[in-house]
Structure 1
Amino acid sequence: MTRYDLDSGIPTLAVALAEHMNADELKVLATLTKTRAPTRKAELVEHIREYLEGDRLRTVWQGLDDLQKAAVAEVVHSSDTTFPAERFRAKYGRLPDFGAVSRWPRDQPPTALRFFFYAVERGGGVMPDDLKERLEAFVPPPVAATVKSLEELPAAYDRPFERWNARTKKEEHGTEPIPLTVRETERSAQRELLSVLRLVDAGRVAVSDKTRRASSATVDAITAVLEGGDYYPFVPPKDKWCDENAGPVRAFAWPLLIQAGGLAQRSGSRLTLTRANDTRTRTHCLRAGERHLVVPASSDAAFRRALRDVGFLLAECVKGQTGKGKHGLTAASSRREAIADTLAECPVHGWIAAAELLRLVRASDNGFAVSRNAWHLYIGELQYGSLGYEGGAGLLEERYLLCLLFEYAATLGLVDVAFIPPAGARRDYHSLWGTDDLPFFSRYDGLMFVRVTALGAYCLGTAEDYKPAPVEVKPVLRVLPNLDIAAIGADLEPGDRLALDAYAVRTADLVWQLEAGKLLAAIEEGRSVDEIREFLSDRSGAPLPDTVARLLEDVAERGARVHDRGLARLIECADPALAALIANDTRTRTHCLRAGERHLVVPASSDAAFRRALRDVGFLLAPGGATVSKRRRAGATEAPNQQGAEA
């Protein structure tokens, strides 16, 4: 084994001393034995090995401080023998004191922890296999990673700032309070999903055929139906060179989520409600969509599938995500599972800082990497702005976590969020090349706190069942005997407005009128009278007037009296006698119907059988453009067994 062959670990303590330390390092380490040490390397190896034999190993371990004991325990009770420096720092706040085994005067002297870890080129070092096996007998397991949570949020977030004071000619540092905006999502997600599905039903959701992302007009339409709008309203920038608008978040996520959840599919350039089979109507789709955020059985699968299938855009300023950098991205499923496992360890209904959650991800061995090779992800220019330099990988991990929580988990109602404007919210990217003019690194930078909801706890598997709080139903419509529908109050949701526009004719800003023609058009598009009746009853909170009930019954009856039996072929015969002959012949009459004097109708399902039977009768179905001469037409009935023709 060579000094750098560490992929399979270090088998024994003797190998660690002989192969991974030189004579000078061994001499420094031997000073910890407090005995006279030899000078030759082979003798030094044997001297240190004998020192750690028997109960002496336990005595040395007991002399470690608490942080050093934790370092030993983390490796002894793991499947690996390498010291996890980054995970340890995230879990305990700092690294243990290893000291140094070099002879440089500026280096700290070694500590007893150096007896347990070797090959410092692996960061914190590697524990020999035989040493780990002996330590398992008396080293207790390490403490589990914990997360700090708050029962109540502060009114404001202290945002750090750096600004140049032109008067004093100095740069000022400090913090300034920024009010926190809190958005509770569990209940609103249910209503927003139904509103977005009604937009889809109205044909107003257009998406790209390649990226499945919504167009800008669609984003504006979705923003209009979201409760309170999106997280950050658009504000006209004062300076075109410094636009601090974050852009859409929930409005961007909803079209992707309903596609990934199987509630909508692309048809051309627009989304349509998914039909699982021929009997599934729009009513069932809308109710299924509502159940996805109310009924736990369907929520669990839908959320996991949605979070697995949606695509992410880490930050608009990061280039290469769709180019060469795309090939180095890790599997999205592993990243999301790591975050989901970490969220499952968080207390329900407790506010957790985003930075604390990222620390828990790394401390609980749920760490993830966004890219295996971040050198092709860059800001501004590849050579200088590559994220492969030190600090770039951690920046990507944090922004991915913020993106998943803010844009998707919160949109689905899994977590509540507390946020501030993204501009100036985080300063961890300022050391990167090309970021001097960026007001923020990503639109998710303003997310400061998250709180797992009851629905989120169920979907994460930490709660056995989920019982949504009863929804308070307030009458928002008044259905009048003159067939008018008037909105009362200001609680009419955008989704309800879309539904009314589909069922009735708008006569004023908050007044609609039921008309038979509009109702028939709604039924023709796939809606049902029962859906309309249920909608009006629920939103009005009172029985429907008799005139409205009779209108709905009349429309339902009219809609059921004419049926579509499928496609058929229209056959034209040369004369009425030939049409009567074919319609009454025992071989063909079961496959066709008489339609006028010279025409027959053949259902598409009987087309092949009709053609065979027609040949048995002695005729052939000619192409649609064929013509029959007058002489042949006159003699067609005189020779029924002779080959005939049709036009």
Structure 2
Amino acid sequence: MTLKEALRSLTVIELKQRCSQIPDLRTGNVKDSLVNGLAGYLLSDSLATLVAGLSELERNAVAETIHNWNGSFSAVAFKAKYEALPSFFTHDPYNWLSHRSKDSQPSALKLLFFSQTIPTDLAARLAPLVPQPPPMRIATLDDEQLPETVTIKRFSGDEPEPLRRADTEILVHQELPAVLRLIAEGSIGVGAKTGLPSAAAIRRLESVLLGGDWYDADDDEDAPRWAGGPIRPIRPFAWPLLLQTGGLAKIDGSKLGLTAKGKKALSQPVHEVVKQLYERWQRKGSPDELRRVDLIKGQTSKGVRLTAPMDRRLVIEDALRANCPVGEWLAVDDLFRQMKAEGYRFDVSGNPWKLYLSDANYGSLGYDGAVNFEILEARYTLAYLFEYLATLGMIDIAYSRPYRARPDYYDHWGADDLNFLSRYDGLRYLRLNALGAYCLDLTEHYVAQLAERSPLFRIDADLNLDLLRPAEPAEQLQLEQIAKSLSADRWGLNRDVIFSRSADADERERIRAFLETSVEGDLPPEASNLLARIDERATALTDAGPARLIQCRDAALAAMLSTDPATAAHCSRAGERQLCVPQKKLNAFRKGLAKLDFVLPELAP
């Protein structure tokens, strides 16, 4: 659209209003004369004088529109970057009197923008007059700068609340193997069709997570579901879904069981397994994270047309790559500002009118949800970050309880009695860690940022374990698998259990690794001898597979068949009159018998 085309779309009254803003501009009263006069002024050298009279905020609006937004102004992106809007873009379109007020001075932007768009030929003239705006700068924090409290705005006044912090990269190295072992034991019950963990499974999972869930039972104010409902579980809910989606676990009746891939994962480096789980969740993760935002209703209604979660997740991934420096804390609100300013946006629903708070008519998100980042996009992003990426150990987090943590929904109809909009509203800061950088392909190799742990126990000559510190949940689970508790801080290695578990070579190596990495100093001779004896005994026998035991008429026939070239390669003596024939060689043995004019009868059912 050219400038003259834009001007011709206006009425004569609107053209005269614009002409009145230009001193000494002489035009007639005919529309063509008004259009030519305005176009002549705006496309001349006089444009520089008009631009010089703009405020800094107004010049930034012009610069962003021309250089970054293809000529169309974005109020959401501009406000996110500059935290303010020129008054020209804040008029209420439904307030007719605001446009008639004699006290309001019309903005010079009215001469440049037409339906929030700058015509192409005018944009070309403006480009050299307003330089390319600098990129958005967001301050990040180090550990010392991270605040200890956050302010919660309540009706009774502002209240400080402690800011909790979780370095998740450390957690996942302990928790992923522990959760896999729980599933291997058949301890995790799930819905036979949904795969969602049962209440008992949630409790069992929480018991092996370092520090438990993000929130404990005392954090929950037991709000009724219409006001928000429970704020937990989060992590124990996510783990079974992540592992099923990643192909490491599958539903076996009413329990989860490890797949062959899951058993292999127990011996793989944790960072490789986490990356596989993340990539799989990006593409196939189910259910949709939005379903966990319980207060947004209508998600299963006819015609809501929710978008593919994969498309949303990929946008968030791009935003994390571009805006989260590795190892630095970033406020979640600043991440949201960057997503809005830099265009990391996604649709949640093709028909937000079907989504609502409290009431399907008055509370419909169609009134503002389609353009209101905070209600849909932000809540989806919070759920994705807090429940899944933090559980996978990719982002360290700092958070408070969700109650009244984000006031951005207060003005929406039906929100008066809500304690929060989602259980994830308490997420305040995130830090992309080394594991997250590896999973996002920001680095080719992973270098673990893990603090050394002190030894867990010492082993005496009687193969008893004396604990040197309290066992972490994952360590406790491993102790329970190979030892018997003798007292609060003393365990005895269970030889019988260790021998039985050592039939699996990978499990044998895991037992050895646990003992070697947890003991104070080197393994004592008694423990080394036990492990050596287990290795020797576990490899002394080999299962060669199924075979048939053939009974011969007499010893002479057995001797002949075990030495004749036609059959000797397919059988071996198993007694005076018996031959052993491997199942895989049975057909070849039958053919050899036929050459010798013998027949082996079929096995009777």
TM range (shorter): 0.7 to 0.9
Count of residues in correspondence between the two structures:
589
Question: 2:319 matched to 1:328?
Answer: no
Instruction: Return the alpha-carbon distance in structure 2 between the equivalents of residues 384 and 595 of structure 1.
Output: 85
Which residue of structure 1 lines up, in the alignment, with residue 22 of structure 2? 33
* Counterpart residue number, 2:11: 22
Contact between 1:156 and 1:179, CA under 8 Å: does it hold in 2?
yes
Check the 8 A contact 2:18/2:110 in 1, yes or no: yes
Q: 1:364 to 1:612 in 2, by over 3 A?
A: same
566 and 321 in structure 1: CA distance in 2 versus 1, 3 angstrom threshold: farther
Residues 4-19 of structure 1 correspond to what in structure 2 (within 5 A)?
A: 10=1, 12-18=2-8
The farther-off stretch of 231-240 and 478-487 is 231-240
2:119 aligned residue: 128
CA contact (8 A) 1:194 1:289 kept: no
Alpha carbons of structure 1 residues 209 and 325: separation in structure 2 relative to 1, 3 Å = farther
Aligned to 2:177: 194
* 1:197 and 1:289 in contact (8 A); partners too: no
Alignment partners' CA distance in 2, 1:239 and 1:51: 66
Equivalent position SS for 1:246: coil
CA 574–236 in structure 1, closer or farther in 2 if over 3 Å, else same: farther
Distance 2:446 2:556 in 1: 72
Contact kept? 2:316, 2:381, Cα under 8 Å = no
**CA, structure 1 residues 142+330, in 2 after alignment: closer, same or farther (shift >3 Å)?**
farther
Tell me the residue number matched to 1:224. 207
What is the aligned partner in structure 2 of residue 140 from structure 1? 131
Say which is worse superposed, 603-612 or 222-231, in terms of deviation. 603-612
Deviation of the 1:536 alpha carbon? 1.5
Q: How does 1:485-500 map to 2 (within 5 A)?
A: 485-490=465-470, 492-500=471-479
Q: What is residue 32 of structure 2 aligned with on the other side?
A: 42
Aligned partner (choices 604, 609, 624) of residue 588 of structure 2? 609
- Judge conservation of contact 1:307–1:408 (CA < 8 Å) in 2: no
Quote the residue 2:394 is aligned against. Answer: 414
Alpha-carbon distance between aligned partners in 2 of 1:238 and 1:500, rounded to the nearest angstrom: 36
Gap change, CA 1:32 and 1:620, over 3 Å in 2: farther
Check 1:340–1:583 CA distance in 2 against 1; reply closer, same or farther (3 A cut): same
CA 1:592–1:132: 2 relative to 1, 3 Å: farther
Structure 1 residue runs of 5 or longer lacking an equivalent are 1-9, 163-172, 293-297, 627-647
Q: 1:255 aligns with which of 240, 259, 262?
A: 240
Seen in structure 2, the aligned counterparts of structure 1 residues 21 and 274 have a Cα distance that, compared at 3 Å, is same
Give the direction of change, closer, same or farther, for the CA distance of 1:60–1:424 in structure 2 (3 Å limit). closer
CA contact (8 A) 1:244 1:423 kept: no
Q: Provide the residue aligned with 1:106 in structure 2.
A: 101
Instruction: Please point out which of 86, 90, 93 is paired with 1:96.
Output: 86
Letter in 2 for 1:84: S
Relative to the length of structure 1, the TM-score reads 0.80
Pick closer, same or farther for the CA change 1:521–1:538 going to 2, 3 Å: same
Per-residue CA deviation, residues 317-337 of structure 1 (Å, 9 max, x unaligned), is: 333435547742244344443
What residue in structure 2 maps to residue 550 of structure 1? 529
Paired position in structure 2 for 1:535? 514
Alignment pair present for 1:369 and 2:347: yes
SS of corresponding position for 1:182: strand
- Give the match's secondary structure for 2:170: helix
- TM-aligned CA deviation for residue 87 of structure 1: 0.9
Contact 1:156–1:177, Cα closer than 8 Å, also in 2: yes
Residues 223 and 229 of structure 2 are in contact (CA less than 8 Å); yes or no, is this contact kept in structure 1? no
The worse-fitting range, judged by mean Cα deviation, of 22-31 and 104-113 is 104-113
Mind listing any 5+ residue stretches in structure 2 that lack a counterpart? none
CA deviation map 1:472-523 (0-9, x unaligned): 2312112121122232332x11212222222234444443323432122111
Call closer, same or farther: CA 1:291–1:156 in 2, change over 3 Å.
Answer: closer
> Equivalent residue for 1:643?
none
The DSSP-based 3-state class of the residue aligned with 1:33 is coil
Letter in 1 for 2:166: R
**What is the CA–CA distance in structure 2 between the aligned matches of 1:480 and 1:326, rounded to whole Å?**
66
Q: 1:513 aligns with which of 492, 505, 525?
A: 492
* Contact 1:328/1:372, CA 8 A, preserved across alignment: yes
Structure 2 CA distance for aligned equivalents of residues 480 and 275 of structure 1? 37
In the TM superposition, what is the alpha-carbon distance from 1:572 to its structure 2 partner? 5.7
Distance across 2 between alignment mates of 1:436 and 1:47: 53
Note the C-alpha offset of 1:618. Answer: 4.7
Instruction: After TM superposition, give the deviation of residue 595 of structure 1 in Å.
Output: 4.0
Letter in 2 for 1:146: R
Work out whether 1:310 is the aligned partner of 2:285: yes
CA distance in 2, matches of 1:510, 1:325: 60
Aligned to 1:631: none
Contact 2:437/2:443 (<8 A) preserved: yes
Contact 1:75–1:83 (Cα < 8 Å) also in 2: yes
- Please give the secondary structure, in 1, of the residue aligned with 2:409: coil
Question: What do the CA deviations read for 1:354-374 (whole angstroms, capped 9, x no partner)?
Answer: 223212211122222322322
| Alignment of 1:290 onto 2:270 | yes
Structure 1 CA distance for aligned equivalents of residues 77 and 527 of structure 2: 67
**1:91 Cα shift?**
1.2
TM-score normalized by structure 2?
A: 0.85
Residues 130 and 615 from structure 1, CA distance in 2 versus in 1: closer, same or farther, beyond 3 angstroms?
farther
Aligned to 1:390, which of 368, 372, 377? 368
**2:188 aligned residue:** 205
How far apart are residue 92 of structure 1 and its match?
1.4
Equivalent position amino acid for 2:285 in 1:
V
Residue equivalent to 1:640: none
Q: 1:606 to 1:376 in 2, by over 3 A?
A: farther
Report % sequence identity.
Answer: 37
Shift of 1:315: 0.9
* Cα deviation code 1:308-353 (max 9, x no counterpart): 5434234123334355477422443444433542464244554433
Residue by residue over 1:26-63, the C-alpha shift from the partner in whole angstroms, topping out at 9 and shown as x without a partner, is: 22122223312222222222222222223233333333
Post-superposition offset of 1:247: 0.8
Per-residue displacement from partner, 1:542-592 (whole Å, max 9, x unpaired)? 233333322222222111111111233455667777766655554333233
Q: Aligned to 1:158, what secondary structure does the other structure show?
A: strand
Q: Equivalents in 1 of 2:398, 2:593: separation in Å?
A: 75
Alignment-mate amino acid for residue 24 of structure 1: I
Separation in 2, partners of 1:81, 1:607: 80
Q: Which moved more, 1:319-328 or 1:44-53?
A: 319-328
Q: CA deviation at 1:302?
A: 5.5
Residues 615, 507 of structure 1: alpha-carbon distance in 2 compared, 3 angstrom cutoff: farther
Matching residue of 1:7: none
Question: Which segment is superposed worse, 182-191 or 599-608?
Answer: 599-608
Are residue 483 (structure 1) and residue 463 (structure 2) matched?
yes
1:246 correspondence with 2:231: yes
Name the CA shift for 1:88/1:237 in 2 (closer, same or farther; >3 Å).
closer
Whole-angstrom distance in 2 between the partners of 1:612 and 1:113? 96
81 and 477 in structure 1: CA distance in 2 versus 1, 3 angstrom threshold: same
Letter aligned with residue 370 of structure 1:
V
**CA offset digits 1:84-137 (Å, max 9, x no partner):** 12111211122223378999523845422223221x2xxxx2222233333334
Q: Report the AA paired with residue 421 of structure 2.
A: F
Deviations 1:220-248 (A, max 9, x none): 11211111111111149787847864112
Tell me the equivalent position of 1:645. Answer: none
Judging changes above 3 Å, is the alpha-carbon distance between structure 1 residues 327 and 523 closer, same or farther for their aligned structure 2 residues?
A: farther
**Shift in CA distance, 289/228, structure 1 to aligned 2, threshold 3 Å:** same
In structure 1, what is the equivalent of residue 50 of structure 2?
A: 60
User: Rg: which structure is higher?
Assistant: 1
Question: Match of 1:255, SS?
Answer: helix
Partner secondary structure for residue 412 of structure 1: coil
Question: SS where residue 64 of structure 2 aligns?
Answer: helix
Task: Compare 567-576 and 420-429 and name the one that shifted more.
Answer: 567-576
